[in-house]
A and B are shown apart, each in its own frame.
Chain A
Amino acid sequence: MSKSKWSRGVAVVGAGMSKFGAFPDKTSRDLVVEAFKDLKKSMDKPLDPKKIEAFYLGNFSSDQFEKQAHFAPILASWLGLSPISAIRVEDACASGAVAIRQAALAIASGEYDVVLVAGLEKMTDLHISEITEVLGTAADTQFEIPAGFTFPGFYAAMATAYMHEYGADRNAFFDVAIKNHKNGALNDKAQFDQTIEQIREAKKARAVKKGRPEPTWKTDLEFLQDPKGNPNIAWPMTLFDCSPVSDGGAMVLLVSEDLAKEFSDSPIYLIGSGQASDGALPERETLTGIPAAEKAGKQAYEMAGLTSDDIDLAEVHDCFTIAEIMASEDLGFFPRGEGWKAAMEGKTAREGEHPINTSGGLKAKGHPVGASGVAQVVEIWKQLHGIAGERQLPNSPKIGLTHNVGGSGQTCVVNIYERRD
């Protein structure tokens, strides 16, 4: 039984995104326009932009990445939406899902009927060391960053605690990367359109072309285990354990449930939503999971009146491979300490019992931080409508979940979407 306290329900009537990648010739405005066009294309009824009453922007740090603060009204104006209310929300990498949740709450309250939500980040204009510094400001800059921690470092530390606690095999992390690249290779919006196998073979060919000895990697695992092919970033997290630095935008149009059919013949409904927070990594009750994710998930399941067994697919925040494994446990798909085995056994693949990150995830699709939480909904939209192409799940999925984490786990938002026939 649903236990929603919301005054009225909220529906998604369109979802679109720009291509994710590194686009030196584009600005944020171009990415937002590209996402808006894609959103309109996703709708089965024409959208009159004059009906949009508010604009929520999920963005981590345009002020640091682009030296542009106060971006929501500028982007609203760029889309011709002035003078509607325009708000930017920031909770690090969870900014996108936080924006969706805040927009949904504004609709549920009765204040607005029609709200446009964008997620956006333009990261690649800065040098990589500057990008690392900017991302570091999402952590505790007084007590964690001066110790020498980086974002890969936080997740790497959780990975060592996880391996120690559960005896996990490091190859499980690589299996997550291999799976997500396989999915991403089937997603034309993804930053990486290659499987690990294709990347491996290309590297071998390049070595031969340059007159160097051909690397002997016979399998993806051999390649990923070789520091010459896959260098260390923050042990045990290697280059291929990390999501990339990306530019991208994504959008969803939310409306009150009673108006949904005016905007779309095939809306999907936001039936569960939860959000929780936590302190810096040392303060948490565990280092082998993300407590805020478990709590946000419980809230969302309770509101929807569902359990993890009811979820047909999940888009989870795999900023690093270990993060996907912990998410699969925090969300209840697998018992504590079993997520790594499930990843190795293929249970989270498209053919598995709990498909995770059919889009390629942050790992392969790309991770423009403020956009990621919104882009997750684009994949749920596609899968629930049966239009995900070659990566489409069989058996007509009806319920999809998104899990969007900020920082190393200081924020988590879990949302659950349903298709009704």
Chain B
Amino acid sequence: MSEFALTNKEFFRALGVGELIGSKCLDCGEVSIPQREICPVCFSQRTEIVSFSGQGKLAAYTVISVPPVKMAKAGYDGKNPYCVGVVTLSEGPRISAQILDMDLAHPENIKIGTDLQMAIIKREEDGIQNTYLAFKPA
């Protein structure tokens, strides 16, 4: 039994301790991230928490020069852009995350299919330590 429950906030509690979790349907085998109490494929209510390896490949990306307020507060702007993307995890499902250590000056050189490894970003925001999912080249 995983120490994490299937409820929504547990995803972030797990991330806080460096774990990437999702769920697996005990009836049809569908793997989901974040975790689901109801299987989105067969509607089964028999699902359990599974840990993801944190490995994947870049499926889509962008380099953002006009950030939202939170990312601007973290220091990003037109002169200091950041990369965010969609990652296909080795277990199958995809997830959104910031992508680190990319050639931001030449976004056209960033390669879809690049092997990635999970990384964790910790940012202090309004006095609270928040954890964010990120990936970097494997």
Q: Which residues of A contact B (CB under 8 A)?
A: 129-130, 132-133, 136, 142-150, 152-153, 156-161, 164, 231-237, 279-283, 287
A132, A158, A231: the one within 8 Å of B68 (CB): A132
Chain A contacts for B38, CB-based, 8 A: none
Q: Are A148 and B95 in contact (CB under 8 A)?
A: no
Q: Are B86 and A157 in contact (CB under 8 A)?
A: yes
Q: Are A147 and B132 in contact (CB under 8 A)?
A: yes
Within the assembled complex, what's the spacing in Å between the Cα atoms of A150 and B86? Answer: 13
Q: Is B137 an interface residue (CB 8 A)?
A: no
Q: How far is the CB of A70 from chain B (nearest CB, A)?
A: 27
Q: Are A287 and B60 in contact (CB under 8 A)?
A: yes
Q: What are the 3 tightest A-B residue pairs by CB atom distance, in nearest-first order?
A: A156-B62, A282-B94, A157-B60
Within the assembled complex, what's the spacing in Å between the Cα atoms of A280 and B40? Answer: 13
Q: List 8 A-B contacts (CB under 8 A).
A: A130-B69, A142-B8, A144-B96, A150-B66, A153-B62, A158-B60, A237-B62, A281-B60
Within the assembled complex, what's the spacing in Å between the Cα atoms of A251 and B64? Answer: 35
Q: How far is the CB of B81 from chain A (nearest CB, A)?
A: 7
Q: Is B107 an interface residue (CB 8 A)?
A: yes
Within the assembled complex, what's the spacing in Å between the Cα atoms of A232 and B82? Answer: 12
B65, B67, B84, B113: the one within 8 Å of A231 (CB): B65
Q: Are A282 and B62 in contact (CB under 8 A)?
A: no
Q: Are B59 and A153 in contact (CB under 8 A)?
A: no
Chain B contacts for A287, CB-based, 8 A: 59-60, 86
Within the assembled complex, what's the spacing in Å between the Cα atoms of A223 and B5? Answer: 54
Chain A contacts for B59, CB-based, 8 A: 161, 287
Q: Are B86 and A281 in contact (CB under 8 A)?
A: yes
Q: How far is the CB of B2 from chain A (nearest CB, A)?
A: 19
Q: Is B85 an interface residue (CB 8 A)?
A: yes
Q: How far is the CB of A272 from chain B (nearest CB, A)?
A: 29
Within the assembled complex, what's the spacing in Å between the Cα atoms of A129 and B70? Answer: 10
Q: How far is the CB of A387 from chain B (nearest CB, A)?
A: 39
Chain A contacts for B29, CB-based, 8 A: none
Contacts A147-B133, A234-B64 given: A280-B96 contact, CB under 8 Å?
A: yes
B67, B86, B94, B110: the one within 8 Å of A148 (CB): B67
Within the assembled complex, what's the spacing in Å between the Cα atoms of A280 and B63? Answer: 19
In residues 73-103 of chain B, which contact A (Cβ within 8 Å)?
76, 78, 81-82, 84-87, 93-98
A142, A161, A279: the one within 8 Å of B60 (CB): A161
Within the assembled complex, what's the spacing in Å between the Cα atoms of A146 and B34? Answer: 14
Within the assembled complex, what's the spacing in Å between the Cα atoms of A280 and B132? Answer: 18
Q: Are B64 and A148 in contact (CB under 8 A)?
A: yes
Chain B contacts for A283, CB-based, 8 A: 93-94
Q: Are A232 and B63 in contact (CB under 8 A)?
A: yes
Q: Is B26 an interface residue (CB 8 A)?
A: no
Q: Is B112 an interface residue (CB 8 A)?
A: yes
Q: Is B4 an interface residue (CB 8 A)?
A: no
